[in-house]
């Protein structure tokens, strides 16, 4: 039986308020609050500085070097979405550039996350359309091969389902299930409050070994404090 290729028009999305709370928390804090799940690997990187977004994943599965299905995906995007593009095998071809970014921006899409490559990066930065990508490469693409839109994909080792909450900033990209969004947002805000209190203590000269009660642990691990190394060990 031939492979089935789909464009799924309707997906579930998290509440906008929950998405915005997670975006305000940021990738690192939300990742910790979620129990350290959902983080993309280290190969999909921000291709600009200072951009921070959160939105609902519209997923795309393409053939390497072919961006036909990205064009097909634009039609089903809604304001607040993040386009998440995977390929069926590893690729860094420049599958996305300024024209597609212009089309997505017109539909209110907040950014792109892709396991492949992008190009026109200077124009994308100037336009303020943020991308997180495996590479930047000028090699163009064709529009010839079938794929799918809004099916489960894997991006840099992380499963992404249509409608998952995507949080992306300078620290990377985090993907969370819709059903965990509010819980993680609550935990992230609690972490932020606790970190603000610790920051004030650190600014006042507090030591982490005292603040976190680490001296007993160091002792149990056999770490010794000495004033100086013995003569023969220097």
174 known ligand binder: no
Check whether 134 is labelled as a binding-site residue: no
**First-to-last CA distance in the chain?**
71
Tell me: is residue 12 an annotated ligand-binding position.
no
State yes or no: 120 annotated in a binding site. Answer: yes
Q: Cα(135)–Cα(118) distance, rounded to whole angstroms?
A: 7
Q: Is 104 annotated as a binding residue?
A: no
Q: Is 81 annotated as a binding residue?
A: no
Binding site membership for Mg(2+): which residues?
120
Residues in binding site: 97-100, 119-120
Q: Which residues are annotated as a binding site for substrate?
A: 97-100, 119
């Amino acid at each position: 039986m031939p492979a089935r290729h789909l464009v799924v028009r309707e997906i579930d999305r998290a509440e906008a308020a929950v998405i915005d709370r997670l975006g305000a928390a940021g990738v690192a804090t939300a990742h910790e609050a979620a129990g350290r799940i959902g983080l993309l690997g280290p190969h999909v990187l921000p291709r600009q500085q200072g951009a921070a977004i959160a939105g609902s994943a519209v997923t795309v599965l393409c053939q390497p070097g072919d961006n036909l299905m990205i064009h097909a995906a634009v039609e089903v995007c809604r304001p607040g979405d993040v386009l998440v593009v995977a390929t069926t095998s590893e690729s860094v071809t420049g599958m996305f550039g300024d024209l597609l970014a212009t089309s997505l921006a017109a539909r209110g899409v907040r950014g792109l996350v892709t396991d492949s490559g992008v190009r026109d990066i200077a124009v994308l930065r100037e336009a303020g359309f943020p991308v997180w990508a495996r590479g930047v490469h000028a090699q163009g693409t064709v529009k010839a091969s079938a794929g799918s839109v809004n099916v489960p994909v894997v991006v840099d080792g992380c499963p992404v389902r249509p409608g998952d909450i995507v949080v992306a900033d300078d620290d990377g990209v985090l993907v969370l299930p819709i059903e965990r969004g509010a819980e993680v947002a609550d935990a992230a805000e609690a972490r932020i409050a606790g970190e603000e209190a610790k920051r004030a203590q650190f600014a006042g000269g507090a030591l982490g070994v005292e603040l976190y009660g680490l001296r007993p642990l160091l002792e149990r691990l056999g770490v010794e404090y000495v004033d100086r190394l013995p003569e023969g060990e220097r």
